[in-house]
Structure 1
Amino acid sequence: MRSVSLVTVALAMPLAAASTCHPPKWTVGQTVLTTSGPVEGHAAAVASEVSEYLGIPYAQPPVGSLRFQPPVRYNGTQRVDGKNFGFSCIPSNLTAFDAEYPQELIEQFGITDVGLELIKSINNPGIPVSEDCLTLNIWTKPQTGEKRKAVMVWVHGGTFISGSSAVPDYNGQFFAEQEDVVLVTINYRVSFFGFPGNPHGPQNLGLLDQRLAVEWVRDNIAAFGGDPSRITLFGESAGGASVDHYTHAFASNPIIAAAISMSGTVTGIRPRPAADAAYIWYNTTTALNCGDASTTPPSQILSCMQSATPHQIVATLRNVINSPIPMPYSPTVDETLVFSSPQTHPVAMIPLLIGNNDNEAGLFRVFLPPLFPDNVTREEEFWHGDNQSKFSCPAGARAARSAREGNPTWRYRWHGVFANTELATRPPSGAYHYSEVGVLFGTLKGNTREEETVGRWMRGAWGAFARDPVKGLERYGRGKGKGWPRYDEEGKTLARIGLEGREVSFVRGDFYDAGC
């Protein structure tokens, strides 16, 4: 322990120096000293002036006695080569046919080639998985722009059961190239490993992973040219809900300066009640012959579960859509990180950018046969209601609360529909859940001119918010007579992005909140 402490102090000295004075010259891919050890970098594959650092460990591998426990900070002196993404965290299935989407549904919904590739990518095929997965990635360009750049930390989605920072859509090189920011993506534990539901143990391990990753960024990002006082946490779907959870869980000490919640809130993607989480835990422990609540001491159950192989655990997990419990592996109400009444719980007093997509259900409905096969009108009404109850109305309520409490707040709605994002044709999938992510990161191929313009505008807006969360968006595009006014339910403040291929237009703030 003494030797580790000395190493930590030795590493802290150059880091402190890096935080106070900018190096006279930055070499692309130069080695950077961190609390995880010296990290080697390289030029990004396409944006060759961007330095890329991959697979940096921020927590000790959560294996053995650390399985089902809060993350433990990683401190090391060994060189990190930074060339490859780390392992993805172990997922579970969304449906029973994740590996092979049925031909009858392809024909029924008119699934496009683009859509089929998206559906097949749900469980990150081809990306290696392991419990040893708590790593992050950094893209930066310190040789230009601000000497201490705003930092954007991306939390991936995936229904809390899958997802990875190695997904190609999240590659940060184009964001870091266009915008004067440092872009960070993180892994966190998902599915049963991140949200086990043990009633006698710590809950919401995946959310604690996210917090530790933010702490690592705060402590190390200055050495990559970033400003630890200007960290924006942003994410989509389960990542968007995670960002919202974060603002509630760490209201008094958020570390972050701003938040962007995309298609996910704590009231829309609702957490599990503790009783449901415990049911899932004991269902799994019983299946693995580790005991149940009535016959076996909790400590004995935990020890047995920590000795099981990951394969044995995964074999017991439920398909999410077929589960009798909604979102069976997800944040759990514990009144510490996740709250039963989030609407009345304090939130971090920081600027917020929040929004959702015009037809979120365009993705979800293709995993289910029609619910009302003989009544098209009723089918459409159901999915419209699903959009409202899970996405539009919660985003509106969260934006209204943020503005009411005096935080600079902005709200958007994504409308972009492009040939290389089209999912289904019967009915048209429209601007479905997740369809904006590749456009935002600039990682799609075959973009039209309009799509490229919309993507650049969106990256610019997100970057402007990160650089100056208080006034950046009000000033953004001002030279063109635009600017994005703060959210007001009654004013023309809701930004419609990508509508009919255009960058942005504005409507009344509550324009889409009918029935809320």
Structure 2
Amino acid sequence: MALVLFALLSAVQFRTARAIDCLNVDTTSGPVQGFVNKTTLHVAQFLGIPFTEPPIESRRWLPPSPKAKQNTTIDATRFGLACPHYRLGILGFPNAAGIKLTEQNLGLLDQRLGVEWVRDNIANFGGNPERISLWGQSAGAMSADYYNFAYLEDPIVAGFIMHSGSALTPFANLDTAQTNFSFVAQHFNCSGDQNFEIHCLRKVEAASLMAFLKNYSESATQPELAFIPIVDNRTVFSNYTARARAGKLSRKPALIGTTKNEGAPLVLPYNQTFGPDPAQADAITKSLILCPTVWTTRDRYAANAITFRYMYAGNFSNISPQWWEAAYHSSDLPLVFGTYGLARGAGTEFEKQVSEQMQDYWLAFAEDPVRGLPKLGWHGYEGVMGEAMLIGEGDKVMQPIAESMIESLCNDTLPGGMNHHM
């Protein structure tokens, strides 16, 4: 599972005139030039603004450093080139013996610096630093929840939005001997002591590292290599349930949910006509996504943290072209972003209604994580006697669903995964 770091929803309240007039904004990185395009006339866009010094060459595998302010204007009218360093995989989670334990999860340290940059600069864009939400999907949701526990005393953000993932999602780094990094070093003739491996690999082009790891993965060669977060007791912990029950989390409100058929695309191999084995797909849905979300919600409730829970059940042919896919892992994203008509043709009127309702709810949460959703009739988790929100089921845009119906799917399981037994 690739780590999608995070998405920031800042609830910026641009008035039309302000969005058009204020395309030159001063930031801690330097002045930036934005733009307004023809498809979103009421939205000022600023793309690819740097918030850290580039972690390249001698700075590779070092903690992030804030971007020094420059005098020349930063062109924020287009995204930069695809960059293996914004730090995923080996560049963001090296698990190398020559690096301090507390500096192994570099991608998560970058995330914190990104949130700090938003806090320091959002007002210049017309936003409110008191209304920042940290938003992620899948591994991005996991990283958002990691953040929730890592910065409990100064979270900066006012709320969390987590699609299909949480800190309890099973995602253990099994390379406890830290051999994967050395294996890569050996391939590039960088074998030696732990410091030499790092020094030598810093001279290898990122493109070469990425190409080797890509080819190695696709060839299914053994040993399997994985560069993912490790327990460092700074950004990632081993005992999230215990920490939650002890109140060691930010207690900021969270909007958390899953899709009804998360596991459909995750069963390999599968029959193209008949789809994957339903029992296998259901097992993955429960063990990997649904039940960890149930446990997370229970833990948050015990810690007196507000949680709004949903289940997405939309089944739209322009998003789920195979009849058996239905509401699969990530299929809710095009609806909440309103991009459902871009890939495989325009959506239906019902799809439009679902999308717009989701956007209204998500925006209400971002504007006021405590009171926004209750004003629209969506109340926080109150135990199994309460109700969650079911989205896109049948011909209903939104409808309540008993929490007991969701949680009953996990009655035959016990909380597990790396964060319960390590």
Deviation at 1:26, TM superposition (A): 2.0
Whether 1:204 and 2:99 are equivalent positions in the alignment is: no
Segments of 5+ residues of structure 2 without an aligned counterpart are: 1-13, 414-422
Whether 1:495 and 2:392 are equivalent positions in the alignment is: no
Tell me how many residue pairs correspond in the alignment. Answer: 381
Q: Which residue of 2 aligns with 1:309?
A: 205
Whether 1:275 and 2:209 are equivalent positions in the alignment is: no
Question: Closer, same or farther in 2 for the Cα pair 1:212/1:326, shift >3 Å?
Answer: farther
Contact 1:273 1:333 in 2 (8 A): no
Q: Distance in 2 between matches of 1:69 and 1:82?
A: 26
Contact 2:146 2:167 in 1 (8 A): yes
Whether 1:238 and 2:134 are equivalent positions in the alignment is: no
Question: Closer, same or farther in 2 for the Cα pair 1:268/1:23, shift >3 Å?
Answer: closer
Deviation at 1:327, TM superposition (A): 8.4
* Equivalent position amino acid for 2:164 in 1: S
Moved more, 23-32 or 229-238: 23-32
Whether 1:89 and 2:83 are equivalent positions in the alignment is: yes
> Which whole-Å deviations, capped at 9, do the CAs of 1:210-253 have from their partners, x for residues lacking one?
11110100000000011111110011111111111111221222
* Equivalent position amino acid for 1:53 in 2: F
Q: Distance in 2 between matches of 1:85 and 1:70?
A: 24
Q: Which residue of 2 aligns with 1:504?
A: 398
* Equivalent position amino acid for 1:300 in 2: F
Q: Distance in 1 between matches of 2:378 and 2:364?
A: 11
Whether 1:355 and 2:257 are equivalent positions in the alignment is: yes
Q: Which residue of 2 aligns with 1:33?
A: 26
Q: Distance in 1 between matches of 2:372 and 2:160?
A: 14
Map 1:165-314 to 2 at 5 A: 188-201=86-99, 202-273=103-174, 275=176, 278-291=178-191, 296-314=192-210
Segments of 5+ residues of structure 1 without an aligned counterpart are: 1-21, 91-130, 132-187, 477-482
SS at match of 2:98: coil
Whether 1:381 and 2:279 are equivalent positions in the alignment is: yes
Q: Distance in 1 between matches of 2:366 and 2:383?
A: 23
SS at match of 2:255: strand
SS at match of 2:45: strand
Whether 1:486 and 2:380 are equivalent positions in the alignment is: yes
Q: Which residue of 2 aligns with 1:62?
A: 55
* Equivalent position amino acid for 2:374 in 1: E
Moved more, 487-496 or 456-465: 487-496
Q: Distance in 2 between matches of 1:368 and 1:464?
A: 41
Q: Distance in 2 between matches of 1:354 and 1:411?
A: 5
Q: Which residue of 2 aligns with 1:414?
A: 312
Question: Closer, same or farther in 2 for the Cα pair 1:33/1:408, shift >3 Å?
Answer: same
Q: Distance in 2 between matches of 1:78 and 1:86?
A: 17
Q: Which residue of 1 aligns with 2:10?
A: none
Return the TM-score normalized by structure 2. 0.84
Q: Distance in 2 between matches of 1:510 and 1:78?
A: 57
SS at match of 1:251: coil
Q: Distance in 2 between matches of 1:81 and 1:511?
A: 50
> Which whole-Å deviations, capped at 9, do the CAs of 1:72-93 have from their partners, x for residues lacking one?
1102222012111123332xxx
SS at match of 1:255: coil
Q: Distance in 2 between matches of 1:252 and 1:87?
A: 36
Return the TM-score normalized by structure 1. 0.70
> Which whole-Å deviations, capped at 9, do the CAs of 1:162-213 have from their partners, x for residues lacking one?
xxxxxxxxxxxxxxxxxxxxxxxxxx41121111111331211111111111
Deviation at 1:311, TM superposition (A): 2.7
Contact 2:266 2:281 in 1 (8 A): no
Q: Distance in 1 between matches of 2:307 and 2:15?
A: 35
Whether 1:474 and 2:370 are equivalent positions in the alignment is: no
Question: Closer, same or farther in 2 for the Cα pair 1:321/1:334, shift >3 Å?
Answer: farther
Deviation at 1:40, TM superposition (A): 0.8
Q: Distance in 2 between matches of 1:344 and 1:368?
A: 37
Q: Distance in 1 between matches of 2:226 and 2:171?
A: 11
Q: Which runs of 4+ in 1 moved over 4 A?
A: 22-25, 320-327
* Equivalent position amino acid for 1:349 in 2: R
